[in-house]
Structure 1
Amino acid sequence: MTTTEPQSILSLGATLGEGPVWVERDAALWFVDIKEQRIYRFDPALGAARSWEAPAQVGWILPTDDGLFAVGLQTGVHRFDPADGSFTLLHAPEAHLPGNRQNDACVAPDGAIWFGSMDDGEEAQSGHFYRFHKGVCADTGLPPVCITNGPALSPDGRILYHTDTLGKRIWRTALSADGAVGDTSLFVEIEDGAGYPDGPTVDAEGCVWTGLFFGWAVRRYDPAGRLMHEVRFPVSNITKIAFGGEGLTTAYVTTARKGLDLTALTSQPLAGDLFAFDAGVAGLPGPIATL
């Protein structure tokens, strides 16, 4: 597999860039800066971005079947309308946990949104995974962890990959046709010194890519959990990739300045930028969420 070196394509300096998703109807990449409470739309044809302010920390954004977006704010799942910048609450799954926030999400082939929460203080084991579909939000029952990441789904939607970031483990769980969770097994454990597994993404060949926070890289694992490839970056905090562009072969990558002291920031002037590289493999077309 051939790849090009990652290049900064948008100078941003994001505190915690996250959640990139390619939206085909816009021919654009959408992503967020969680800590700065901003939503971004990047137009590759113009090389320019537009942003919106969110009313709370925003963990993810996904396109919906009404032509708008669902977003995961700290206060709950909202509908977002870019035309007027409005947010409408759809569901607040953790109103009883004000110290939690939402962190990452994906859309299943059936249009369901799978998302995770986490302790904003990064200490308590209070992060859960949820499934939201057609107005119904349910806890998946997967064991709670401090920082969830993902989930991501296999091409057929029958395997859920979900990450315990501080535990340095990515798990795989079987899913039934109706989205019920089944058996869980360890998929990958990141070795000491390689950083922490952040957002996972699955490509068209069923392989799993993960960003490595404090790890200077993204990695690609085959469906059996074997390391196939690693792409190194000039910045340490790699959060997540999304496949987009023509043929879905461009890997767009969000990064973060969070956790870097002045010395680190001086040596990493591109920290927090949006990067891209030629992945050498196609991603999966992004499903549209059905609220």
Structure 2
Amino acid sequence: MRAHQLTDPVAYHGEGPVWSPRWGGLRWVDLLAGDVLSLQPDGVVTRRSVGEVAAALRPRPGGGAVLAVERGFALEDVHGTVTALPPVLPPGTRMNDGGCDPDGRFYCGSMAYDHRTGAAALHRLDPDGSTHVVLSGLTISNGLDWTPDGSRAYYVDTPTGRVDAFDYDPASGLTGRRPFVTFPEDGGHPDGLTVDAAGGVWVAAYGAGAVRHYTAAGVLDAVVEVPARQVTACTLGGEGLDELFITTSREGLAAGDDPLAGALFSVSGVAPGQPVREFAG
């Protein structure tokens, strides 16, 4: 499969695509610009600033969104007003990628600006506003999503070169971490991911210009070619949840290198996804 280009290179570091009918379609972030981008039905991209960093977001049932910003979390109300919560990260680190569990709790993992090994953690924001460290000793915390039945989660700490699996239940949270798949040396670096309705895992291959699809058994059965090398994340959306939206980055690239980097791409007619899990707070 080959993805086609939906937008111009509108982002410096595109990340975190999310499809939700509640907010009218697709949103994603230009992470280091602190902007949330929205794809309008006519193909126009709009943007608005939510802070120094916009790392991840999910809808709230009553409207608005929960956001991961530079050093913690923030809540957007139905009027678009963003209120930052107390920081949870130390200076020199930032939030990076996340998602909601089946019980409506929002997770986001971090990374150090200098990519220090072990300086990152996975944090969880509960609906009551409390925060918790779920995993520590990480380096570049990336993709996180759950299976349709909610019993398993898939997670990426990029330098490991793996997608890991966890068992999940509301009381114990994420337990039993073990490798699910390991990327080949020439396969790029695992980044953002999404889980489809059949339990298959779509994983962005940063540096390889691809999204890799693994069955629930961990078998690679499809590769989507993307005409930009630094593929960061993906999600399933559209009316039938069968369109794969793919974000890309031009962070660290020289002018003129990889000219489509920063554009949004898609491929239609793939295995359908799951409705987005919302933050219950």
Partner of 1:274: 264
Structure 2 contact 18–58 (Cα < 8 Å) conserved: yes
SS at structure 2 position matched to 1:248: coil
Return the alpha-carbon distance in structure 2 between the equivalents of residues 156 and 37 of structure 1.
33
Determine which of 10, 13, 16 is the counterpart of 2:13. 16
Q: How does 1:25-64 map to 2 (within 5 A)?
A: 25-43=22-40, 45-64=41-60
Q: CA deviation at 1:17?
A: 0.2
Normalised to the residue count of structure 2, the TM-score between the two structures is 0.94
Partner of 2:83: 88
Q: Which amino acid aligns with 2:273?
A: G
Please list the CA deviations of residues 95-154 of structure 1 after superposition, one character each: whole Å capped at 9, or x if unmatched. xx11111111111222111221111221232111122221221111x3422101021111
Residue 124, structure 1, aligned to residue 117, structure 2 = yes
Candidates 146, 159, 170, aligned match of 2:163? 170
The answer on whether the counterparts of 1:80 and 1:88 sit within 8 Å (CA) in structure 2 is yes
Change (3 A) 1:205 1:185: same
1:96-245 equivalences under 5 Å are 97-134=90-127, 135-140=129-134, 142-245=135-238
Mapped contact 1:116–1:151 kept (Cα < 8 A)? no
Cα distance between partner residues in 2 of 1:228 and 1:155: 19
Q: Distance in 2 between matches of 1:18 and 1:256?
A: 8
Q: 1 CA distance for matches of 2:50 and 2:161? A: 30
Deviation at 1:79, TM superposition (A): 0.9
Change (3 A) 1:173 1:164: same
Q: RMSD of the alignment, in Å? A: 1.6
- What is the Cα deviation at residue 189 of structure 1? 1.1
Name the CA distance, whole Å, in 1 between partners of 2:92 and 2:115. Answer: 10
Give, in angstroms, the shift of residue 13 of structure 1: 3.9
Offset at 1:207?
Answer: 0.6
TM-superposition CA deviations, 1:225-269 (whole Å, max 9, x none): 22111011111011111111111001111100012234xx44x22
- Deviation of the 1:195 alpha carbon: 1.0
Query: Residues 276 and 179 from structure 1, CA distance in 2 versus in 1: closer, same or farther, beyond 3 angstroms?
Result: farther
Report deviation, 1:179. Answer: 4.9
The answer (yes or no) to whether the contact 1:13–1:257 under 8 Å persists in 2 is no
Tell me, yes or no, if the aligned pair for 2:63 and 2:78 is still in contact at 8 Å: no
Partner residue of 2:65? Answer: 69
Q: TM-score, normalised by structure 1?
A: 0.91
Structure 1 CA distance for aligned equivalents of residues 137 and 254 of structure 2: 30
Residues 151 and 184 of structure 1, relative CA distance in 2, 3 Å threshold = same
- Secondary structure of 1:10's partner? coil
Please list every run of 5 or more consecutive structure 2 residues that lacks an aligned counterpart in the other structure. Answer: none
